[in-house]
A and B are shown apart, each in its own frame.
Chain A
Amino acid sequence: MERTQLGSGTALDLETQPAPEMPPAGPRPAQPAARAVRRTWGRVLHLLTSVRLAIGLLIALGVASAIGTLLPRSDVYHSPFFTLLLVALGANIAVCSARRLTTLLRARRQGVETADDAIHEHAALREQWPLSGSLDDEAERVRRALAERGLRVRSATRGGKVYLLGEGGLLSPYGPVVTHLSFLLILAGAVASSIWGWAGEVEIPEGSSADAVELAGGRAMPLGFEVRCDDFQMKTYAGTGQPEEFRSDLVVLEQGREVLKKTIRVNDPLSYGGLTFYQSNYGLLPPDAQGGRLIFAVRGSDGKQASVAVTPGKSAAFGDGLQLLVRQFFGNFRLDSSGRPSEQPGLENPAALVAVLKDGRVMQEGWRFARYPDFESGTRGPWSVQLADVEGREYTGLRVSYDPGVGLVFAGGGLLSLGLMLSFLQRQRRIWARLEPFKSRLRLSLAARALRHGAALEPEFAGLVERLRPAPAPLPALPVKKNRRSRP
């Protein structure tokens, strides 16, 4: 089997190298104790840089990750133990890759022998047959057959024999190196992300802007510029009411000047100044002087009714010299311990201190509650005023992140995939051919060897043999009757 060659091959012999034993330093032979220590150290070093350890670490990481999903509160992934496993794997990969790269480069310098007689005696896949034709013509025919299979062909002439070597999948041995170095890139990117990166949330009401975001710990992080939300929209699918799209029109402002406008959606964020703004959520804020409206149902003693919309802190006219003024609005009205009105977060108990003015003079004033329409506090007058509806301000919820590692991680991920495809989807293979004079004719020998895909090479080799082996001599043509059919 080809696989048994792996240990002695050029690219994969990581394990077969013995522990490096250092020669005794200095002119005097080392003391037995010192030598034992050194030998032990050598063994430890060898274990630490072995594929055996890498396999152990892969298994440990797998088990730890699986446990982490079953115990979500334990946060295995940020524990020192998990970090230690990753660091050890990174170090192990670095050493193994360096070693592999040296081996590869050495093998590359040495090159592969084109004129190799031994391979024609020993390769697992080999064939030999006589040919009639000139040496040059046959060599050209073999060269073309090898090139047709996408192999890069070299040739050499020695002692009246012509040697050819076709090599395929030449990049394949570099696949593992690319793969492992990309894994290190991903780890480096993850480290950069976790040390220097941050993510926060910001809620920007329509028409307002923000110049800082709140980090996970509650700390405010200044942006260094302003982001304004001009509009937030939610689109729903017709019929089902399921959300189809969330969309915010954002504007970036530097010292009050608009520098960038972009409509962001889920899956289409805004990037500016190294930061990225993602559509994350949305919601309603209680109305305030900046926006939102309170809808009042007003009924006069004469039976006239009106619906009046007022922004908190402002007033609105609703008839002959009549005005409704909202002095105060609380999204969640409570009485504090001394019995004074106070505001709590939320919109559980919206209440407005509202006054009716006639020609600028206060006629009546009192608190009105959306939840308790019949309760009217304060001075009474000819108008019945009810807080009928509260239209909050829509805000867009953005996730803002700074991630200096993401580029490294993606470069690593892309290269990792590429390296694996080089390793596994490309077949490294070599086919040797030798043409030599043999009993007044020619003899062609073919031999093939693959590094990791021994079995898969057999059909290709068989195809090549079929292509190059001369067809049996054609039979003399038979007398033809009807139904003439030519057969090759």
Chain B
Amino acid sequence: MNSSTLIGLALIAYLFASAAYFLYLGTPREPVARVARRILGFGLAAQLVGILLRWRESYALGYGHAPMSNMYESMLLFAACIAGVHLLLERRHKSPAVGALMAPLAALVLAYTSISPSMSREIEPLFPALKSNWLTAHVVVCFIAYAAFAVSAAVSVAYLWKRRAGDRGLARAFPSANSLDEIGYQAVALGFPMLTLGIFFGAVWADVAWGTYWSWDPKETWSLVTWLVYATYLHARLIRGWSGPRAALLSLIGFGAVMFTYWGVAYLLPGLHSYAS
């Protein structure tokens, strides 16, 4: 059993979990949700073991580094974080219907890594600048944040839909609009401290590696833009009382900034973080 087998298994599990969650939308009953949750949990476990195996395989190749060094490995982590953060929030808020958005997203990210023609799936040696214990800490908390923001954005879409559709059709399976609004906030409340910690770890690392904690590199700057959008979201919501559609819109803008920080910068704005190619 090697890492790519397990990751393939995870992809299949995510696809089945998506189907099960869709089934839940049609027949919103707890046993269906439980099956979907278990399949997703199984996929997540397979993927985490796969990532750990890839870590070990890199030692066999003589490189020996955490699997977080290029776009492929980061997307593996992203898919795992999406599944994990969803399961966490589903457990806390009893909101299985959201899985019908998150499981397909995890599957999509994972499927993209295996079919993209331009993506290198090899285990590559690490550049000297990346050889640091900060790599793991920085990347993991950043991706937990990205996944939480993905959940918030998906829930915001669900909220806008639920508000229009009410209890008609598939929207019936979703929690009330107010609950969705609350889950969207809870996801940001998880993601924001994680993003802050991720930027902080990155700054400490940059200081150790390059002798400057902040250099206005495009990736850094866009992470700051993302941070500012969610800071705006939290202040508008908690103090100015923004909730509902306006909060949902801010969450979507925030996720747009996340996506640009992650992919846009990597492919469009070269800089110190351009490990995409």
Give A residues with C-beta under 8 Å from B: 1, 3-4, 6-7, 12, 14-15, 51-52, 54-55, 58-59, 61-62, 65-66, 68-70, 72, 77, 190, 199, 237-238, 240, 242-246, 265-269, 276, 278-280, 399-401, 403, 406, 409-410, 413-414, 416-417, 420-421, 423-425, 452-456, 459
Contact = CB atoms under 8 A, between A and B. Distances in A.
A278 B211 contact: yes
A69 B200 contact: no
Contact of A413 (B93, B200, B232): B200
Contact of B200 (A77, A265, A416, A452): A416
B63 interface: yes
B128 A416 contact: no
Contact of B238 (A6, A72, A401): A6
Contacts of A421: 193
B23 interface: no
B52 interface: no
A452 to B, nearest CB: 7
B221 interface: yes
B53 interface: no
Contact of A15 (B129, B207, B218, B239): B239
Nearest to A420: B193
Nearest to A66: B225
B213 A409 contact: yes
B213 A410 contact: yes
B192 A266 contact: no
A454 B178 CA distance: 11
B62 A406 contact: no
Interface string B223-261: 011001101100110111101000000000000000000
A246 B228 CA distance: 37
B235 A246 contact: no
Q: Which of A242, A414, A424 has the most CB of B within 10 A?
A: A424
Interface residues of B, number: 54
Interface stretch (B27-35, B154-162, B182-190): B182-190
A300 to B, nearest CB: 47
A399 B211 contact: yes
A267 B131 CA distance: 7
A416 B198 CA distance: 12
Given A237-B125, A425-B190, A410 B204 contact: yes
Contacts of B221: 65-66, 68-69, 77
B170 interface: no
B269 interface: yes
A55 B221 CA distance: 19
Given A65-B224, A237-B62, A409 B203 contact: yes
A69 B269 contact: yes
Given A267-B208, A401-B211, A421-B193, A456 B92 contact: yes
B29 to A, nearest CB: 20
A211 B209 CA distance: 23
Given A6-B241, A51-B240, A267 B228 contact: no
B193 A65 contact: no
A265 to B, nearest CB: 7
Contacts of B5: none
A72 B207 CA distance: 22
A245 B62 contact: no
Given A1-B178, A417-B197, A244 B132 contact: no
Contacts, number: 147
A237 B124 CA distance: 10
A400 B239 CA distance: 44
A15 B131 CA distance: 48
Nearest to A405: B213
A276 B211 contact: yes
29 contacts: A12-B238, A59-B232, A62-B229, A65-B228, A68-B221, A69-B218, A69-B222, A242-B127, A265-B128, A266-B129, A267-B128, A269-B208, A269-B211, A278-B210, A278-B211, A399-B210, A401-B212, A406-B213, A416-B200, A420-B192, A420-B196, A421-B193, A424-B189, A424-B193, A425-B189, A454-B182, A455-B93, A455-B178, A456-B92
B228 A58 contact: yes
A77 B225 CA distance: 13
B172 to A, nearest CB: 20
B174 to A, nearest CB: 15
A416 B196 contact: yes
A424 B190 contact: yes
A89 to B, nearest CB: 10
A245 B193 contact: no
A453 B93 CA distance: 12
Contacts of B212: 199, 401, 403
A240 B204 CA distance: 30
Given A14-B239, A61-B228, A242-B125, A266 B190 contact: no
B216 interface: yes
Contact of A65 (B93, B225, B238): B225
B179 interface: yes
Given A69-B222, A420-B193, A456-B182, 4 more contacts: A3-B243, A243-B127, A399-B210, A401-B211
Given A417-B193, A420-B193, A66 B210 contact: no
B103 to A, nearest CB: 23
A265 B132 CA distance: 11
Contacts of A54: 235
Contacts of A400: 211
Nearest to A15: B239
B181 to A, nearest CB: 9
A420 B214 CA distance: 21
Contacts of B239: 6, 12, 14-15, 51
A278 B38 CA distance: 49
Nearest to B125: A237
Q: Which of B182, B197, B228 has the most CB of A within 10 A?
A: B228
A278 B207 CA distance: 10
In the A-B complex, the 10 residue pairs with the closest CB atoms: A62-B228, A420-B193, A413-B200, A424-B189, A266-B128, A278-B211, A455-B182, A267-B132, A237-B125, A417-B197
